[in-house]
Structure 1
């Protein structure tokens, strides 16, 4: 008599903060996911704002085929919310945790199962894929292309850097790395880059697969100042991550090298934009220059609060 394959539990985690319209869109899209009989999917919403409207959005969608759990993380900061997702998923004894942002939605109805199948196929602890950024009209422009350029990876390719906007973690990762996300990055961003660095040093295997999500980029981010701030913040986050996890001298040398490279690449793009009169190239250059300066300033303990302003709806 043939045995049925063991059921595997998959938790799809969403961290949200006062973006009920986008959350509703994502929850509706997730209910359309198609998956095999050997998978059990559930959705976990962690509200980092204790927002009544957010809870109402969740309650109105509890009748779907995929069950939804709502929880609150009262302490402000994406790190605390991410760690709560890991803690709840572990307590549920789920085999996999999939992170997706509340401003995104899966491009394909097999998105979740594709991530799980890739984890099995490549014997990976972590699986990630790319993000397709679009504006409020659903189109791409210079801003969306800077934020998320087309991927250059192939399926099954090993990666050392990943982010939580489209990410699968196995049970092994959650147990080995807990607490996964460092509280020192609570309001500054880059906690997922720091987490990726720790996973790489721990010998955990991350691979890329073709299971994209789509992100709506609000008009408030189609702004030169926003890109400059984002570049500066990402540079700081890079340096702080390596300062925390590497010998001091090695981290300083690495940061100085990347600071110089980023500034030089940015300057080249800025000069290129002057000849081609291309705004996207100009902003990309400014983004890289600011990232280089941020990489350098991170050596002096400078921090930038990324999550003070909420973009989106």
Structure 2
């Protein structure tokens, strides 16, 4: 009796995007070879496509998606915010086995998608997180370079983590659907939606594991390679950290404790940062002064989050979307 062939593994690559048509076009071209070669790379039949989730009210990504091949689907999500875009991507991927998030300003490297799938196929964790490395448009200024703010931690293959960012992330759709966890649209333009989402999954006992050989490059523009942007980002991370802890609390008392902890830890971080900054002055270490200053802003953000203040990290202006001709 002939064995019935295994059903193809259904893969959706989700790309939330906002007013980056040129970057999106480059990303779509880069992703296609990964999908085409996936079956051979993982040794199993696959069926994959790209889902573009356009968060621009002017639908600037629509002509870019339309210019792609038939494996590109387009969804318009008018509610502002990265949380809404990620939630829409997940809800439009419920017919897939896995959904893989990649940001519109990133580019996948060799075996990016194959490595995510390989780690997932080993023992089917709910989430697999890959590495993000930085590529600079211009040389960072001395303060940013000394602080090494764009370097990310490396973890061995299969390492379990409690939370993860969504710039290079695979989700097991069935496990996520059964958990009932969604990206919290209430976070609006403030960020932290990926940390809250993945933290909520691990609180239910689901696993997140590391895939260090799955790499995407974050293309960092010149506008971010300065002290002002780094400090704003650290403040935003601080507010998001406390906000996530408050939202994860299951009772009013738990939320009060989370706010109090945010104030205590934020204040402690600022005090520690002051001491490290003085040590940096005494030793003429720009690196110590830079990291201490960034820690102080992160501590201030934690306190701000505790009293309900949010930094709109993804705030928008009224500038119309650029119109890009796609060949």
Q: State the TM-score, normalized to the length of structure 2.
A: 0.85
Task: Map Cα deviations across residues 53-108 of structure 1 (whole Å, 9 max, x no partner).
Answer: 42222222226xxx000110111111111111011101xx1000111100001111
SS in 1 for 2:100: strand
Report matched runs for 1:120-199 at 5 Å. Answer: 120-136=121-137, 143=144, 146-178=148-180, 180-199=182-201
Q: Distance in 2 between matches of 1:86 and 1:221?
A: 29
- Correspondence 1:267-286 to 2 at 5 A: 267-274=274-281, 279=286, 281-286=288-293
**1:261 CA displacement:** 4.5
Note the aligned Cα RMSD (angstroms): 2.5
Larger deviation, residues 147-156 vs 35-44 = 147-156
Shift in CA distance, 149/271, structure 1 to aligned 2, threshold 3 Å: farther
| Contact 2:17–2:53 (CA under 8 A) maintained in structure 1 | yes
- Cα distance in structure 2, aligned partners of 1:271 and 1:24: 47
Q: Distance in 2 between matches of 1:88 and 1:75?
A: 15
Separation in 2, partners of 1:23, 1:273? 42
Conservation of the 8 A alpha-carbon contact between 1:131 and 1:148: no
For the structure 1 residues 276 and 130, does the alpha-carbon distance in structure 2 shift closer, same or farther, using more than 3 Å as the test?
farther
Q: Report which stretch shifted further, 154-163 or 253-262.
A: 253-262
For structure 2, the residue ranges without an aligned partner over 5 or more in a row are 323-327
Q: What's 1:112 paired with?
A: 113
Q: For residue 233 of structure 1, what is the aligned residue in structure 2?
A: 236
Contact 1:122 1:156 in 2 (8 A): no
User: Conserved in 1, the CA contact under 8 Å of 2:116 and 2:128?
Assistant: yes
Report if aligned partners of 2:87, 2:185 keep a CA contact under 8 Å in 1: no
User: Structure 1 residues 179, 73: closer, same or farther in 2, change over 3 A?
Assistant: farther
Displacement of 1:157 after TM fit? 0.6
Larger mean CA deviation between 283-292 and 233-242 belongs to 283-292
Using the size of structure 1 for normalisation, the TM-score is 0.88
Secondary structure at 1:76 match in 2: coil
1:30 aligns with 2:31: yes
Deviation at 1:139, TM superposition (A): 9.2
Residue of structure 2 equivalent to 1:84 = 88
> Which stretches in structure 1 are left out of the alignment for 5+ residues?
none
